[in-house]
A = this chain, B = another copy of it.
Amino acid sequence: MISLGIDPGTIRTGWGVVRRDGSRIVRIDSGVIHLDEHTAIEDRLVVLHDRLNEILLSTGPDEAAVENLFFAKNASSALKLGHARGVILLCLRRHGLPVASYQPTEVKRALIGAGRAEKGQIQRVLEIILKTGRALEADEADALAVAVCHANGAGLRRPGNPLSHSHER
């Protein structure tokens, strides 16, 4: 089973693809889609969609998980983030992938046992677990954390969601 994790953003979108081999999680590929903040949002969304499409075609995941965010700094930044997230969900669904959604605190709890992490902690833990052999970018690490969390069946353990992915309504 190959899982894609995504940490959405209108300037940087992290992505990470992992495969579960028994109890081991192996990193297949990961990176950050960088968008030019000086271009119009609609042009950035086109680039985001095209890049994600290429990643889906080259890595062939079976399922996807996207970081959610209920508590943005303010409505304006939530709206912006929503633009990227909406385009990502559209692209994933077009590829027929089941899409799960996780709060940042859920991801951190699944990975390090606590809902909050110090700056750089998640990155370093993932560099060790996934034996990346190089430093991960922050958004790349966040995306890999979502992928690992999902690959480890976090969605299946949710109360009220014993057997299914947590689709958003």
Residues of A within 8 A of B (CB): 37-43, 45-46, 49, 69-87, 89-90, 92-94, 99, 167-169
Residue pair B69, A79 in contact (C-beta under 8 Å)? yes
Q: Can you identify 28 A-B contacts, CB atoms within 8 angstroms?
A: A39-B169, A40-B99, A40-B168, A41-B89, A41-B169, A42-B99, A42-B167, A43-B93, A45-B86, A45-B90, A45-B93, A46-B94, A49-B90, A69-B79, A70-B75, A72-B79, A75-B78, A78-B79, A79-B81, A79-B85, A82-B83, A82-B85, A83-B83, A83-B85, A83-B86, A85-B86, A86-B87, A87-B90
The A contact surface, by secondary structure, is helix
Q: Report the Cα distance A85→B87, complex, angstroms.
A: 9
Q: In the assembled complex, how far is the CB of residue A49 from the closest CB belonging to chain B, in whole angstroms?
A: 6
Q: Report the Cα distance A53→B30, complex, angstroms.
A: 32
* Across-interface contacts of A74 in B (CB, < 8 A): 75
> With A45-B93, A46-B93 in contact, do A76 and B79 touch (Cβ < 8 Å)?
no
> With A42-B92, A79-B72 in contact, do A37 and B169 touch (Cβ < 8 Å)?
yes
